[in-house]
Structure 1
Amino acid sequence: MTMLEKETSTEFDSLMPRVGFSRRGFLVGSIAAGFALATQPVMAQTAIDTTPDGLVTGIEPLVGADRHPVPAYYARPEGKGPFPVVLVASEIFGVHHYIQDVCRRLAHQGYFAIAPDLFVRQGDPTKISNVQQILDGIVAKVPDAQVLGDLDAAVKFATAHGGDAKRLYMTGFCWGGRITWLYAAHNSTLRAAVAWYGKVDGAPSALAPKQPVDLAAGLTVPVLGLYGGKDQGIPLDDVEEMKGALKKGKSGSDIVVFPEAGHAFHADYRPSYRKAEAEEGWKRLLDWYARHGSGRG
């Protein structure tokens, strides 16, 4: 058992009656060992597999705002730290291999990266092969408030285990890109965030009362949005509206559009992947964090 496991097992075990099975079964069953079923077949020739050498990695339980256990994958450099923290919000496919790999990439850059399973109460998208079933059966049932509370729990966990609360960052992809905008509005202690092709507008609902465009002018956290000019799911008109809303505020946020990229251009395991744009976007992410004072180690 790792030190993190020893420090969290007692509190976690007290929560197990809520989910009805063992700690080990809960953690192993909630974070995918490989790629999500709905993303098959994986583009093996482009899928990146970052080594864990020199890192401390694992799956640990967080305690959500409603006291529900929330598993999270983390990766950080070896050593005591404190390390700057990056919250990672997944696509609709959950915390599968790709999201875990993003955490390892960030850890190799000196960050404590943590990706909580933000769908744990509604279902496990990694085990479902039909995208529409994931959207209707899981994603549509997830309240924004719940997600923001679980991300708060991830911050608490990371900063209690080697992370630096004063150097807090975030990134997210697709569904997680939208969540990144929302969390930047929710938690003003973030130094900076990077949202990859997350929706910025949409009809309000009881579970999602606000959209990023509604919150843009009031942001105090600098957020960098990375979007594809040929993304058929996010109209450029919406992106331009978001740009206009950001200009009304004083956060210093910005949006970059890659003209030839479609949706999910950073997802190296899918046909949507565009190597040049993905690498440029990643460079911009690291530069954005550095510009806003992340430091390393």
Structure 2
Amino acid sequence: MCDSEIHQGLVETSELSRRAFVMAGVAAAGLATSAFAENVVETDVTLKTPDGDADAALFHPEGKGPWPAVLIWPDILGLRPVFREMGRRLSNEGYVVLVPNPFYRSKRAPVVDGAFDFNKPEDRAKVMGFRQAMTDAGVDKDATAYLAFLDRQPQTDKKKKAGVQGYCMGGPLSFRTAAAVPGRIGAVGSFHGGGLVTAEQSSPHLLIAKTRAAYLVAVAQNDDARQPEAKDVLKKAFETAGRPATVEVYPADHGWCVPGSQTYNEVAAEKAWGELLKLYKANLT
């Protein structure tokens, strides 16, 4: 695992990078509290995986449903209020949504309390350790367990394909999910995903041929500046695999989709959200 898989585009020690990861307010920031809660049921759940008990947040619209399922992989700071709000918002559109704590092997959510600066070695070591405890094989087992859990919910429409979306480190995890349960995942969204294309044999882009999903890959402009060839490698991989995909560089910096972050760009984030909803509407059938 390399730094780019954590936060590609924001690993330098510039002042912008430092500000972007001083996260005292980010953990609690997000859309207006209860903005999407009126018609959404939220439940804290614990589900079993081959590696232990994972804590997560489950959302579904009020009523019997059924609705398609979606798995949301958070960024490196994990399950926290802002991702709960994103789960509520998506569920409000008519989906059963699971937002897991990807670091359950190390600590229950929230895994970061108070101020957090990605450029401080002691702060960075905390989240790097959490991420390093997640092997590729472990992620694949987690993804399978999460989808199985979603399918056990009475509100889930198992006749329709499921979606998966990820932010920052969650981008590669979403690719892995689509490869781990190819018969179940119909759509993949990656937003400022780090490390989608690497020189390793485990590179996420090499998994595309194993999947049966349509893709939306939203790339941050500073990630693209660091690795301009990645978007072309992705486009070629999608074409070769015959997978429908949109790969687009957004005029916004890494982290722009997460409300409350210092790089949050509302205009670009809302565009990405709209494209995600169109992807799901067209492919979770």
Fold-level similarity (TM above 0.5): yes
Q: How does 1:80-99 map to 2 (within 5 A)?
A: 80-99=64-83
SS at match of 2:259: coil
Structure 1 residue 164 corresponds to structure 2 residue 148: no
| 1:212-249 C-alpha deviation (Å, 9 max, x unpaired) | 12223443211211112223786222222212221111
Residue 226 (structure 1) aligns with: 218
Residue 122 (structure 1) aligns with: 106
Residue 195 (structure 1) aligns with: 190
| 1:33-64 C-alpha deviation (Å, 9 max, x unpaired) | xxxx9622349997443331111101111110
Equivalent-residue separation in structure 1 for 2:29 and 2:57 (angstroms): 25
The residue type paired with residue 175 of structure 2 is: W
SS at match of 1:126: coil
The residue type paired with residue 222 of structure 2 is: K
Equivalent-residue separation in structure 2 for 1:183 and 1:118 (angstroms): 13
Residue 265 (structure 2) aligns with: 274
In structure 2, do the counterparts of structure 1 residues 41 and 57 end up closer, same or farther at CA, with 3 Å as the change threshold?
Answer: closer
Equivalent-residue separation in structure 2 for 1:92 and 1:233 (angstroms): 21
Q: How does 1:1-297 map to 2 (within 5 A)?
A: 39-42=23-26, 47-49=31-33, 50-66=35-51, 68-123=52-107, 125-127=111-113, 129-131=116-118, 132-161=124-153, 162-167=155-160, 168-188=162-182, 189-198=184-193, 199-202=195-198, 204=200, 210-231=202-223, 235-258=227-250, 260-294=251-285
| 1:99-128 C-alpha deviation (Å, 9 max, x unpaired) | 111110011101001011121113353237
Deviation at 1:69, TM superposition (A): 0.8
What is the aligned residue count?
252
In structure 2, do the counterparts of structure 1 residues 253 and 51 end up closer, same or farther at CA, with 3 Å as the change threshold?
Answer: closer
In structure 2, do the counterparts of structure 1 residues 232 and 39 end up closer, same or farther at CA, with 3 Å as the change threshold?
Answer: farther
Equivalent-residue separation in structure 2 for 1:202 and 1:251 (angstroms): 20
Deviation at 1:253, TM superposition (A): 2.2
Unaligned runs of 5+ in 2: 1-20, 119-123
Equivalent-residue separation in structure 1 for 2:202 and 2:71 (angstroms): 21
In structure 2, do the counterparts of structure 1 residues 233 and 135 end up closer, same or farther at CA, with 3 Å as the change threshold?
Answer: farther
Structure 1 consecutive aligned stretches of length 4 or more whose deviation exceeds 6 Å: 43-46
Greater RCO between the two (CA within 8 Å, min separation 6)? 2
SS at match of 1:215: helix
CA RMSD of aligned residues (A): 2.4
Question: What's the TM-score, normalizing by structure 2?
Answer: 0.81
Equivalent-residue separation in structure 2 for 1:234 and 1:288 (angstroms): 27
Contact 2:214–2:245 under 8 Å retained in 1? yes
Equivalent-residue separation in structure 1 for 2:159 and 2:180 (angstroms): 16
Equivalent-residue separation in structure 2 for 1:111 and 1:38 (angstroms): 33
| 1:188-229 C-alpha deviation (Å, 9 max, x unpaired) | 12111111121212354xxxx611122234432112111122
Question: What's the TM-score, normalizing by structure 1?
Answer: 0.78
Equivalent-residue separation in structure 1 for 2:22 and 2:69 (angstroms): 29
The residue type paired with residue 171 of structure 1 is: Q
SS at match of 1:142: coil
SS at match of 1:118: coil
Contact 2:186–2:212 under 8 Å retained in 1? no
| 1:151-181 C-alpha deviation (Å, 9 max, x unpaired) | 2222222221221223211111111111111
- % identity of equivalent residues: 24
The residue type paired with residue 224 of structure 1 is: L
Equivalent-residue separation in structure 2 for 1:106 and 1:154 (angstroms): 17
Equivalent-residue separation in structure 2 for 1:151 and 1:279 (angstroms): 27
Equivalent-residue separation in structure 2 for 1:81 and 1:234 (angstroms): 44
